Amino acid sequence: MLNEGQIKQYQDQGFLVLDEVFPLDELEQVKQQAAKIVNDWHDDDRSHTFGTKDNDRSGNDFFLDSAETMSCFFEEEAFDEKGEFVQDRALCINKIGHALHELDPVFKRFSHQKILGDIAKDIGLQEPQIRQSMYIYKQPNIGGEVNWHQDATFFFTTPQSVVTYWFAMEDATLENGCLWVEPEGHKGPLRERFNRCGSDTKMQPLSDKAWPIDTGVPVEVKAGSLVIFQGKLPHYSAPNRSNKSRQAYTLHVTDGRTEYAVENWLHANTLPLTGFDS
Ligand code: FE2
């Protein structure tokens, strides 16, 4: 699937962009399915928000249980001081997570397609296993910032293996909060680990290396593009203050030959752990 230059780009830079590889009609099906899940979701508990300003999820069973559900989280700015939605309810959802790839037929089909397995093999994942899926809305006006982090913080394996597949469901631009990455940042240390013990979570510092606030580069992509990045690559996205959403779908994939840490927050014990179609 990938040519030598693309594999080298991934290895050298820590990320790779495949421009407009998925047709818009296929994206539309997935987008509509996400909208249906949101429409069918009737839990409007104001505490079910998602943000990254504070990563302490201790006692947050709604989050912790979502390893095995398709739960809708609200944007942190979804509600006004009276607890009312600040804009249309459907435009207040931050994300759906974290087991769409197993629980929903449309997402299951999209997530397991062979081309993704071919890419995994090209970049060194011999036994790819899909650990998590998220449909991220980055809503107009209130789409929250996702602070600088490395995905290996949340999917710690020995040796490091997690790869993120980031599908642009819509054009991602500087205006609507595109992804930012630090080229070659995957060559640096993992800065922290997110550990869970029962209902408690804790961020364990590993390195005080500064985040690349001044050296990150934006990754503006068209709808249908796929960004693949290595688990130690620092990445970030700004708040969305534009009037357009920036929808994306992500998969986090680890290699079955590695040891997946028992301390990781996400263990989908009741679901099968699957790879891609052959
Ligand atoms: Fe991430």
Q: Which residues, including other chains, have CB under 8 Å from residue 256's CB and lie 6 or more apart?
A: 126, 127, 128, 129, 273, 275
> How many angstroms does the Cα of residue 222 sit away from the middle of ligand 1?
19
> How many angstroms does the Cα of residue 142 sit away from the middle of ligand 1?
19
- The per-residue pLDDT for range 141-182, each reduced to its tens digit, is 999 999 999 999 999 999 999 999 999 999 999 999 999 999
> How many angstroms does the Cα of residue 237 sit away from the middle of ligand 1?
9
Q: How far, rounded to the nearest angstrom, does the alpha carbon of residue 232 sit from its chain's CA centroid? A: 14
pLDDT band at 47 (very low <50, low <70, confident <90, very high): confident
Cross-sheet strand order for the sheet of 128-136: 15-18, 226-230, 163-168, 248-255, 128-136, 93-98, 70-75, 49-50
> How many angstroms does the Cα of residue 81 sit away from the middle of ligand 1?
30
> How many angstroms does the Cα of residue 82 sit away from the middle of ligand 1?
32
Domains present along the chain, CATH in parentheses: 4-260 (2.60.120.620)
Residue type present at position 132: Q
Q: With 90 as the cut, is the pLDDT of residue 184 above it?
A: yes
Tell me the CA distances in angstroms from 183 to 214, 222, 231, 232, 265, one per residue in order.
12, 20, 13, 11, 27
- The per-residue pLDDT for range 67-86, each reduced to its tens digit, is 999 999 999 999 999 999 99
> How many angstroms does the Cα of residue 150 sit away from the middle of ligand 1?
6
Q: Is the CB of residue 262 less than 8 Å from the CB of residue 155?
A: no
What's the rounded mean pLDDT across residues 177-203? 96
Angstrom distance (rounded) from CA 22 to CA 28 = 10
> How many angstroms does the Cα of residue 51 sit away from the middle of ligand 1?
12
Q: With 80 as the cut, is the pLDDT of residue 102 above it?
A: yes
What residues are paired with 253 via a beta bridge?
130, 163
Peptide bond into 98 cis (omega under 30): yes
> How many angstroms does the Cα of residue 19 sit away from the middle of ligand 1?
20
The shares of helix, strand and coil residues in the chain, as percent rounded to the nearest 5, are 25, 30, 45
- The per-residue pLDDT for range 211-236, each reduced to its tens digit, is 999 999 999 999 999 999 999 999 99
User: 47-51, 130-134, 203-207, 222-226: which has the minimum mean pLDDT?
Assistant: 47-51
> How many angstroms does the Cα of residue 235 sit away from the middle of ligand 1?
6
pLDDT, residue 46, reads 81
Q: What is the pTM of this model?
A: 0.96
